[in-house]
């Protein structure tokens, strides 16, 4: 399992996890699309924004390996802001390739791209 060095382990000041420490010995947790409802807690929305910002800062619009990125956090974004970069794909593989769909991510999480430069 690839460990993404420099990627934040969690949203600062919270328990919202962005990465895992080690591979699951019982098997890889699959990434499955989760429905995001309008009434999600503000803290959950901040965690999504922080995760998208970290994806943008670390990978930009380039394909990246899932590696140690948290399946639960990716599941909130998959098939919307994060797409599979290969077809067919294995949602239960640490080697799966993903890519940030920048136009969709910017529309969904504009604050994740706010660098103060306009």
- Taking only the tens place, the pLDDT of each residue in 29-44 is 999 999 988 888 888 9
Q: What is the structure's pLDDT at 118?
A: 44
Report which DSSP code applies to 62.
S
- HEC profile of 63-108: CEECCCECHHHHHCCECCCEEECCCCCCCCCCCCEEEECHHHHHHH
- Taking only the tens place, the pLDDT of each residue in 51-95 is 999 999 999 999 999 999 999 999 999 999 999 999 999 999 999
In sequence order, the β-bridge partners of residue 69 are 19
Of residues 2 and 97, the one with the higher pLDDT is: 97
């Amino acid at each position: 399992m690839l460990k993404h060095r420099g990627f934040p382990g969690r949203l600062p000041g919270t328990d919202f996890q962005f990465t895992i420490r080690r591979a699951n010995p019982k098997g890889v947790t699959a990434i499955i699309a989760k429905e995001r409802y309008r009434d999600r807690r503000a803290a959950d929305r901040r965690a999504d924004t922080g995760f998208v910002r970290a994806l943008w800062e670390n990978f930009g619009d380039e394909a990246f390996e899932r590696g140690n990125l948290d399946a639960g956090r990716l599941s909130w974004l998959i098939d919307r802001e994060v797409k599979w970069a290969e077809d067919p794909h294995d949602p239960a593989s640490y080697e799966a390739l993903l890519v940030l769909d920048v136009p969709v991510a910017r529309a969904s999480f504009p604050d994740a791209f706010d660098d103060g430069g306009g």
